[in-house]
Structures are given as structure tokens and as C-alpha cells.
């Protein structure tokens, strides 16, 4: 088994291949992007930003890191890793390197889980990308600086700094899919794996923080151009949080914290224990 950083990056300004050169990545046109001391590269041009500090805040990233590292979403990580390897064992040769992008990687939790789950016979080339520099910094800091497992990039799903037809797999974990870009960077036969919240996800917490809950309108996922659906898996389990910090971290790492009323956040702040329903759908799409 070997795990290495994905190398087929593209210049976000002109789309030309990037080549690592010393402490930077450069394209043939002379555009250069420095590698930060934490080990990541920022490939999000200022003209592609909608704010000065897009994506999750430092506080949200820290809360998500604590929550995920405590193992509460390990069943999701296990199911995603299994879905990746089940698909790729049929689409790639036994000894071929498997390249995978986590588009919206956060602190890199799901890529680390994928690396930990890989068999001894398979090689991985991994790329984590997020629009939040705080998320990518955190992910890069947790990587091994002597033998890094992933390339870590600040970038946008809307303009992925990745060479076309270079990936076997794209993960989109509770994120914002940009199907045209996912289709562009995936090889024919490559797989897109989406994880999205089901109608019952965290229902017990939502009952507390919102005055009323709207009736769930659950519909089949959009059928994106360039893909064919391989299957949909429902994953549902009970999760008990028995300390206030874990409850606070879960709330802060989700959009519910900002959508909730002040009264709702105050009710959540006094909780010391809660049993929640985790309800997610894992949708697999093949690039045609």
C-alpha cells in the first residue's frame, strides 16, 4: 500500500497543469502559488471570492474537528470508504493507483478515514479541497509533514483547480455539488459519492432549537448531466451525546446554529445529554 498527495493540479487562472517547484506550484505561463508553511496551497484567486474570508470560520472548523475526531460520525466514514472501494475494485485494475478528491474536505476527516481503510494492495492519491482556509490549514496540520498523505488546497468547487479526467473518485460530504465540474475532473467510469442529510437527520436537536419545524419535502436527488445513478443507500442510527461540549460542537458545526433563534440557542446551551437520530443518504453516481 502507498498513499501519496494527488499531483494533477491545474492553474486556477488559465487551467494549465501545475508543477511543484521548490516551495511553490507553477504553470507554464509563469503563474506561481506558494506552499504555506502548514503544507497547503491557496488556489482560490481573489476574483473568485465572494467575501474576504469565505467558507467555514475558524470556530466552526475547530468544533467540527473535535466532534468528528470523537468518532460520532465514524459509521458514515466507514460506509463512504466501503462505497469507494466497492466501485473502484470493478473499475480499476488491481494494482492501479486510485485518485480521490474530497470536494469540501473540512479538516480532512473523511480522507483520513479512507486512507486508514485502504487494503495493503491498493495505492491512493488523495486531494482535499475547501473554500475555507481555516479548514485546509487544520487538515494540513494533521497530516504527516515528513510523508504527507494528501495534497491540501484552498479552492472552490465552482472552479476546481484540477486537471480534466484525472480523478477516479469525488466525495461531496454534506457539501455543495457542482456537477459540471465534478464531471469534468472525473475519468469516464469514475464515481461521485454524495452524502446528504435525510429528513430525520438530527430531528431531536431541531425540535429544540426551532419554534416549529416545516414538513419535510423529500425529493429524489437531481439527475446531473454526464452521470448515471448507481444506487442510493440510507444510513440511520441513534447517537447519544452525553456532555455539553459535544452538543455545542455539533450545533456550531452545522448551519442550524445560524438559523436558530436566540431562544433556540439558549435552550441548546443548557442541554447536558441528548439522543439524536443520524439519518443520511449516500448517493453514488458514475461518470459516463
DSSP-assigned states of every residue in 146-195: SS-SEEEEE-BTTB--B-TT-EEEEEEESS---HHHHHHHEEEEEEEEEE
Q: d(Cα 178, Cα 167) in Å, to the nearest integer?
A: 15
Q: d(Cα 130, Cα 168) in Å, to the nearest integer?
A: 19
Per-residue pLDDT at 140: 95
CA 102 to the chain's CA centroid: 4
* Cβ pair 145, 39 in contact under 8 A: yes
What lies within 8 Å, CB to CB, of 217 at 6+ separation is none
CA torsion, points 152, 154, 156, 161, in degrees to nearest 10? -60
Q: d(Cα 84, Cα 169) in Å, to the nearest integer?
A: 7
Low-confidence ranges of the chain (pLDDT < 70): 1, 48, 90-95, 145-146, 213-221
End-to-end alpha carbon distance in the chain? 29
pLDDT digits (tens, 9 = 90+) for 167-189: 999 999 999 999 999 999 999 99
pLDDT digits (tens, 9 = 90+) for 32-77: 999 999 999 999 998 767 777 889 999 999 999 999 999 999 999 9
CA torsion, points 54, 268, 209, 53, in degrees to nearest 10? -10
Give the three-class secondary structure for 45. Answer: coil
pTM for the full predicted model = 0.93
Amino acid at each position: 500500500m502507498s498513499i501519496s498527495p494527488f499531483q494533477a493540479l491545474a492553474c486556477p487562472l488559465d487551467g494549465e497543469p501545475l508543477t511543484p517547484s521548490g516551495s511553490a506550484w507553477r504553470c507554464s505561463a509563469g503563474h506561481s502559488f506558494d506552499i504555506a508553511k502548514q503544507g497547503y496551497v491557496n488556489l482560490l484567486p481573489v476574483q473568485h471570492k465572494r467575501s474576504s474570508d469565505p467558507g467555514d470560520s475558524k470556530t466552526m472548523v475547530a468544533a467540527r474537528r473535535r466532534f468528528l475526531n470523537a468518532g460520532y460520525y465514524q459509521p458514515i466514514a466507514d460506509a463512504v470508504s466501503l462505497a469507494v472501494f466497492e466501485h473502484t475494485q470493478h473499475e480499476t485494475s488491481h494494482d492501479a493507483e486510485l485518485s480521490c478528491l474530497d470536494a469540501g474536505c473540512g479538516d480532512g476527516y473523511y480522507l483520513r478515514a479512507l486512507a486508514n481503510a485502504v487494503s495493503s494492495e491498493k495505492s491512493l492519491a488523495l486531494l482535499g479541497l475547501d473554500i475555507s482556509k481555516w479548514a485546509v490549514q487544520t487538515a494540513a496540520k494533521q497530516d504527516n509533514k515528513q510523508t504527507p498523505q494528501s495534497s491540501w488546497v484552498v479552492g472552490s468547487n465552482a472552479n476546481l483547480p484540477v486537471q480534466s479526467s484525472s480523478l477516479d473518485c469525488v466525495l461531496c460530504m454534506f457539501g455543495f455539488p457542482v456537477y459540471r465540474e465534478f464531471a469534468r475532473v472525473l475519468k469516464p467510469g469514475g464515481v461521485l459519492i454524495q452524502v446528504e442529510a435525510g429528513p430525520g437527520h438530527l430531528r431531536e436537536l431541531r425540535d429544540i432549537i426551532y419554534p416549529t419545524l416545516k414538513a419535510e419535502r423529500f425529493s429524489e436527488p437531481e439527475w446531473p448531466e454526464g452521470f448515471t445513478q448507481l444506487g442510493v443507500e440510507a444510513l440511520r442510527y441513534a447517537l447519544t451525546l452525553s456532555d455539553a461540549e459535544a452538543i455545542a460542537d455539533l450545533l456550531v458545526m452545522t448551519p442550524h446554529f445560524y438559523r436558530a433563534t436566540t431562544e433556540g440557542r439558549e435552550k441548546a446551551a443548557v442541554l447536558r445529554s441528548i439522543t439524536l437520530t443520524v439519518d443520511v443518504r449516500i448517493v453514488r453516481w458514475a461518470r459516463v
